[in-house]
Amino acid sequence: MLGKLDWSAIPFDQPIPLIAGAVVLVAILGVLIWVVVKGHLPYLWHEWITSVDHKRIGVMYILLASVMLLRGGSDAIMMRIQQAVAYQSQGYLPPEHYNQIFSAHGTIMIFFVAMPFVIGLMNLVVPLQLGVRDVAFPTLNSVGFWLTATGALLVNLSLVIGEFARTGWLAFPPLSELSYSPGVGVDYYAWSLQISGVGTLVAGINLVTTVLKLRTRGMNYLRMPMFCWTTLASNLLIVAAFPILTATLAMLLLDRYLGFHFFTNEAGGNVMMFMNLIWAWGHPEVYILVLPAFGIFSEVVSTFSGKALFGYRSMVLATMAICVISFMVWLHHFFTMGAGPDVNAIFGIASMIIAVPTGVKIYNWLFTMYGGRIRFATPMLWAVGFMVTFIVGGLTGVLLAVPPADFMLHNSMFLVAHFHNVIIGGVLFGAFAGFEYWFPKAFGFRLDERWGKAAFWFTFLGFFITFIPLYVAGMLGMTRRMQHYDVAAWRPWMIVAAIGMAVLTIGVICQIMQLVVSIRNREALRDRTGDPWDGRSLEWATASPPPVFNFAFNPDVRGEDAYWDMKIHARQQSLGHDVPEYQDIEMPRNSPTGFVCAFFATIMGFALIWHIWWMVILGGIGAFATFVVFAWRDHDEYVIPADEVAAIDRVNLEERRSLVSMAGTI
Amino acid sequence: MAMTATAGHAHADPHHIGVVIEHPGPASKRIVTAYGFWVFLLSDIVMFSCFFAAYAVLSGQTAGGPRGSEIFEQRNVAIETVCLLLSSFTCGMASIAADVRNRFWFYLGMTVTCLLGVIFLVIEFREFADLVARGYGPSRSAFLTAFFSLVGCHGLHVSAGVLWLLTMMAQVFAKGFRADILRRMMCFALFWHALDIIWVAVFSVVYLLGSGA
């Protein structure tokens, strides 16, 4: 009846996950009760859960990422404490628990923090920057988000019911095969990634189509803001790379569920094929994450330097070059597998070549700042901090791209330090910069600058105190994923790294405080102009938060930096007098499809993990029925009458008239 | 602000003529839908290519079990291929019928497409069942694993296509040739033709090359 599921699945003997699970459960129940008692449920349902508005979906993505960041961060803290105390002792974590923690940490941070964060920002901003009303497929967008949430939910369920994978974040066979991992951990891993992977693919298709087919009038390719370009590149990579992940995990699951022999040791299976496939997805994935961050930095640096982006066309070229080359370097993840010097040399050179367009970008940002009127607001701090951090990460990356050096440093803490260097310094700093930069656009008030700056400095310093010691430990020969160790030379570095982790944690607390303080002072921080930073691209041309239709009229773009040109133009002609003729606007109707679909996907995923076959069938039928019901509806749009559009837009125009006179003078 | 009276209208702005070809604005729903679906199809083909790659790597790993030439039956595969290629033709007929709003030919075309698809699936299922009965199931060797997965993945797509096809017929029956239904029909046709292309690759890589080896 319940497959492999019974009471032994709940770890009554392990206090840590049980207490953590109980706390989370109480918190969730508390929030739910509060929502119901306060009568917020209808609001949540109509305005958020069933919303197909790209801005709302973007916000929900970022919210999901933030919650999961806390979870993944707790894992990180536990690991750093373990390695600090586990010198010639077992530490405080049993080995199988420690292995689950590092696997969950990697999985969560990549799939459920970095991915939703950048996809959320892209969702929120790109249609605004393109001057359009929504993404190409609004309902599908909602489905994509809720499937991502399903994946995150399943990972968190594994904390209390059953276990998570102990195989590392990529579940290499043969360790992840049934013979070596008989539990449900790997199944939790694989099914949560399969389900959220579908969501990611949907988001990718959506954003590619949006950028290529929905740009507003006059928005030629070479007038698109840089963030739109990097979004395009990143989503092209999603569309090309995520099916590889889907196929690879499907093969692993077939091995585990039906006794197939893709990656087994016996009957001719090929383990190295898994490495090749997973990294053919995995390496582009790195650029899927970091390219949007590059776009964010381009926007931020240009805005806060008061200058157009230096070398715009070279930036576009560099972005697309990275997009292509990222598919040609995957083998550097296993130089030591014995592919031979020729193969290693070719992939080594490709890996070094990809540093060239990245270097071009760094110089472009520096030259954008050169001669500009720089304002060190919080987003700009993250951008400058990124440039410093990322160069270190890039240099160590080029070092690792040299096969002989890689033979020494492969699988060491040096590698761990390197990829945290680029992922934190690149993606996370980018996500925070984007968060600070676009928060006023999403909610209509700024974030508190003092707490924001404090968060930056603690994170920045904490980052270096944590990861520089890991570089050193790697040089001293410490391998990754060590549960405990006996080498005295490593110990001090582990202790320093743990201290760094504490500093980083203060940074996170500052970030939370910033949010709390800003929400409390939101009236004082209110931005009525819609353009708090003196921005240059179209998202600043509308009110904050933008009306559901984004723009009363599709903007007409005449050049790069569309909104900047409008402001200058308007100031010269002391404009703003035309009373436009408003028209009715058709917008997509809200739909519970995404939420219902994810509900059935959750049931199905859980049932698959525990081999509860009747429930699998039930979930499958439910998901299909949802789609048929969705396909059957007759009215998928509603009309906002011209009067209403006029009323909403007039307020925005009034606020803006005062601003226009100040453009470029702030 | 520049987004005033002229914005939103389609006619050309005189200032721009002869300078740059201006982007005309958002594409129509039909183009956006088709474009998005093409992108999906490409991603689906990437997924198939992984199974093709796996087959290429594992096709020699028979682990003492049978090789391709010992188990493939050319006659069955020929019938399957004919069915699928014909169904692509009838699907095309149904698409044309939908474009000219002819219900009779639409239903006829779709019904024949469905039948051909089902015949294909039945033959494939019998081939699989026969192999399993002889002890040559997918867990026998890595070669058979890759074979069953690649061909089965295509078969799953065809099954999903049949389900979609029936849904399409029901939708036309209930709602008529509405614009959104026609857009879905277009996507379905793209999907069905893409399965044909993939089958040609399966036929060549698995059955033709395998029979010779």
The bridge status of strand A637-640 relative to strand A585-588 is antiparallel
The answer to whether B58 contacts A269, with C-beta atoms less than 8 Å apart, is: yes
Looking at the partner chain, which of B58, B163, B171 has a beta carbon nearest the beta carbon of A268?
B58
CA-based radius of gyration for chain A: 25
Residue A259, chain B, CB below 8 Å: the answer is: yes
Residues of A in contact with B171 (CB under 8 A): 631-632
Residues of B in contact with A201 (CB under 8 A): 40, 43
Output DSSP code: residue A87.
Answer: B
Spell out where A23-136 has E strands.
none
Residue B13, chain A, CB below 8 Å: the answer is: yes
Percentage with pLDDT > 90 across chain A: 57
Spatial contact of A473 and A413, defined as CB atoms under 8 Å apart = yes
Give the Cα separation of A181 and A167 in Å (integer).
8
Residues of B (169-188) whose Cβ lies below 8 Å from A: 171, 174-175, 180, 184
What is the pLDDT, as a whole number, of residue B3?
A: 42
Residues of A in contact with B58 (CB under 8 A): 261-262, 268-270, 273
Determine which of A179, A205, A211, A272 to mutate to test the interface with B (most B C-beta atoms within 10 Å): A205
Query: pLDDT digits over A594-625, tens only?
Result: 899 899 999 999 999 999 999 999 998 998 88
CA angle A160, A163, A166 (to 5 degrees): 145
Query: pLDDT digits over B151-167, tens only?
Result: 999 999 999 999 999 98
Residues of A in contact with B43 (CB under 8 A): 201, 204-205, 239-240, 242-243
Residue of chain B with shortest Cα separation from A247: B47
Give the Cα separation of A11 and A15 in Å (integer).
8
Residue of chain B with shortest Cα separation from A578: B4
Q: Which position has the higher pLDDT, B19 or A148? A: A148
Residues of A in contact with B51 (CB under 8 A): 247
Residue of chain B with shortest Cα separation from A216: B25
Confidence category of residue A583, pLDDT binned at 50, 70, 90 = confident
Cis amide linkage into residue A545, ω under 30° from 0: yes
The answer to whether A634 contacts B175, with C-beta atoms less than 8 Å apart, is: yes
User: In sequence order, what are the beta bridge partners of A446?
Assistant: none
Average pLDDT over residues A356-366: 93
Question: Which three-class secondary structure string do you get for A17-29?
Answer: HHHHHHHHHHHHH
Hey, what are A310's tokens?
A: 């230096």
Residue of chain A with shortest Cα separation from B23: A218
3-state secondary structure of A485: strand
Average pLDDT over residues A102-110: 93
Percentage with pLDDT > 70 across chain A: 97
Spatial contact of A141 and A203, defined as CB atoms under 8 Å apart = yes
Residue B35, chain A, CB below 8 Å: the answer is: yes
Residue A261, chain B, CB below 8 Å: the answer is: yes
Hey, what are A231's tokens?
A: 């979004």
What is the pLDDT, as a whole number, of residue B10?
A: 42
Spatial contact of A449 and A377, defined as CB atoms under 8 Å apart = yes
What is the pLDDT, as a whole number, of residue A659?
A: 65
What is the pLDDT, as a whole number, of residue A577?
A: 52
The answer to whether A270 contacts B138, with C-beta atoms less than 8 Å apart, is: no
Between helix A115-130 and helix A429-443 the angle, nearest 10°, is: 50
Q: Measured between CA atoms, how close is A402 to chain B, in angstroms?
A: 28
The answer to whether B145 contacts A575, with C-beta atoms less than 8 Å apart, is: no
Determine which of A200, A217, A219, A272 to mutate to test the interface with B (most B C-beta atoms within 10 Å): A217
User: In sequence order, what are the beta bridge partners of A586?
Assistant: A639
The answer to whether A268 contacts B143, with C-beta atoms less than 8 Å apart, is: yes
Would you give the distance in Å from CA A518 to the centre of its chain? 23
Q: How many CB atoms lie within 10 A of CB A629?
A: 12
- What global pTM score does this model have? 0.92
Residue A572, chain B, CB below 8 Å: the answer is: no
The answer to whether A205 contacts B7, with C-beta atoms less than 8 Å apart, is: no
What is the pLDDT, as a whole number, of residue A666?
A: 44
The answer to whether A570 contacts B1, with C-beta atoms less than 8 Å apart, is: yes
The answer to whether A244 contacts B50, with C-beta atoms less than 8 Å apart, is: yes
- Counting every residue, how long is chain A? 666
Q: Which helix (H) or strand (E) holds A80?
A: helix A54-85
What is the pLDDT, as a whole number, of residue A652?
A: 78
The answer to whether B27 contacts A624, with C-beta atoms less than 8 Å apart, is: no
Give the Cα separation of A234 and A526 in Å (integer).
33
Residue A6, chain B, CB below 8 Å: the answer is: no
The complex's ipTM works out to 0.89
What is the sign of the dihedral through the CA atoms of A287, A293, A296 and A301?
negative
Residues of B in contact with A243 (CB under 8 A): 43-44, 46-47, 50
Residue B77, chain A, CB below 8 Å: the answer is: no
Spatial contact of A371 and A389, defined as CB atoms under 8 Å apart = no
A436: which residues sit within 8 A by CB, 6+ positions away? A377, A378, A379, A382, A447, A452
Residue of chain B with shortest Cα separation from A248: B50
Spatial contact of A294 and A316, defined as CB atoms under 8 Å apart = no
Average pLDDT over residues A214-226: 90
Each of the 213 residues of chain B gets a pLDDT tens digit; together they read 344 433 334 444 545 455 557 888 888 889 999 999 999 999 999 999 999 999 999 988 888 888 888 888 888 899 999 999 999 999 999 999 999 999 999 999 999 999 999 999 999 999 999 999 998 989 889 999 999 999 999 999 999 999 999 989 998 998 888 888 999 999 999 999 999 999 999 999 998 888 765
What is the pLDDT, as a whole number, of residue A544?
A: 85
Determine which of B21, B29, B39 to mutate to test the interface with A (most A C-beta atoms within 10 Å): B39
Long-range contacts of A357-363 (CB under 8 A, 24+ apart): A357/A317, A357/A318, A357/A319, A357/A321, A357/A322, A357/A325, A358/A318, A358/A322, A358/A394, A359/A394, A360/A311, A360/A314, A360/A315, A360/A318, A361/A294, A361/A298, A361/A315, A361/A318, A361/A319, A362/A387, A362/A390, A362/A391, A363/A311
3-state secondary structure of A480: coil
Average pLDDT over residues A112-117: 94
Residue A633, chain B, CB below 8 Å: the answer is: no
Q: What is the mean pLDDT of chain A?
A: 89
Question: Which three-class secondary structure string do you get for A266-298?
Answer: CCCCCHHHHHHHHHHHHHHHHHHHHHHHHHHHH
What is the pLDDT, as a whole number, of residue A458?
A: 96
The answer to whether B47 contacts A576, with C-beta atoms less than 8 Å apart, is: no
Q: How many helices (H) and strands (E) does chain A have?
A: 23, 2
Residue B1, chain A, CB below 8 Å: the answer is: yes
Looking at the partner chain, which of B3, B26, B139 has a beta carbon nearest the beta carbon of A259?
B139
